[in-house]
């Protein structure tokens, strides 16, 4: 967040993604509830394997700044959904 002069641009850039995370998490929790037992463990395992595979691949994802307006909220909503289903706030936001 520092220097303070860059806070505004940072919030404008990431705000849509963060709002998408909230919407995706609340929507996923309302639609699916909290998975428990074997299904929850399976979904968590799959999310962690996907994240590990991405990290081991060493790939970075680049998106043109002109696409951030729609991609941020979309990735945020997908991340929120994965968070609601697994409890892991990593995939796909971090990659």
- Position 41 scores a pLDDT of 83
Percent of the chain beyond pLDDT 70? 97
Which has more pLDDT, 42 or 94? Answer: 42
pTM of the model: 0.80
CB contact at 8 A, 75 and 93: yes
**How far from the centroid of its chain's Cα atoms is residue 65's Cα?**
18
Count of beta carbons in the 10 Å neighbourhood of residue 13: 14
- pLDDT-derived band at 95 (thresholds 50, 70, 90) equals low
Can you count the helices (H) and strands (E) in the chain?
3, 0
CB contact at 8 A, 81 and 26: no
Phi, psi dihedrals of residue 3, rounded to the nearest 5°: -70, 150
């Amino acid at each position: 967040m520092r220097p303070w002069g860059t806070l505004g641009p940072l919030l404008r850039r990431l705000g849509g993604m963060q709002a998408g995370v909230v919407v995706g998490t609340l929507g996923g929790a309302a639609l699916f509830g909290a998975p428990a037992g074997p299904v929850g463990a399976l979904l968590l395992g799959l999310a962690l394997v996907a994240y590990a595979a991405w990290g081991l691949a060493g790939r970075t994802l680049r998106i043109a700044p002109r696409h951030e307006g729609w991609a941020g909220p979309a990735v945020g909503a997908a991340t929120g959904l994965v968070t609601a289903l697994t409890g892991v706030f990593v995939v796909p936001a971090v990659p």
